[in-house]
Amino acid sequence: MPATDLLLLVTTAAHLGFQLTVTLVVYPALAEVPAERWRAAHDAHSRRISVAVGVVYVAWALACVLPLVAWASGGERPAPAVLVVLASAAATAATTAFGAAPMHGRLASYDAGRVARLLAVDRARLVLGAVALAAAVVAVVVAGA
């Protein structure tokens, strides 16, 4: 089994664990903040979570790039399950960059509709992360067979 597959599995699992925490704990707690306390709570959330987002996404991105670099350097083409992980990771990153991040920028004041849209975008990231992890498990199992 390629070491890149194992690294991809570990970082994809870390991402899904992070995403589950955000979806099931962090965002619901943020959504319950009263409008008069929203700005301070949202600003604090943004400051606190940015380091965790950076660590998780940078590690996952590096793990996703490695199979492509190996292939471009004359190695084997990544297995189909690995390609599913890479596509899911790219879709997750795009959903974050073009969905969640801009939505946070528009939430300086409380807006129930925008908060609801943020929660919907977040659930999409959770689904994409779950698909990625399932594919990473398949990649490791198939490679080890």
Tens of pLDDT, residues 93-112:
999 999 999 998 898 889 99
Q: Give tens-digit pLDDT for 103-143.
A: 988 988 899 999 999 999 999 999 999 999 999 999 999 98
CA separation for the pair 121, 95 (Å, rounded):
7
Q: What pLDDT sits at residue 145? A: 55
Greatest CA separation found in the chain? Answer: 58
Q: Determine contact, residues 143/5, Cβ cutoff 8 Å.
A: yes
Helices (H), the chain: 3-21, 27-31, 38-72, 80-95, 101-105, 112-144
- CA-based nearest residue to 44, from 93, 107, 125: 107
How far is the C-alpha of 90 from the C-alpha of 77, rounded, in Å?
A: 18
**pLDDT tens across 25-66, in order?**
999 999 999 999 999 999 999 999 999 999 999 999 999 999
Give the CA count within 13 Å in the CB-facing half-sphere of 145. 6
Domain locations in the chain?
3-144
Model-wide pTM > 0.85:
yes
**Quick check: 82 and 135 in contact, CB under 8 A?**
yes
Q: Which pLDDT score is estimated for 84? A: 98
Cα 144 to Cα 138: distance, rounded to the nearest angstrom: 10
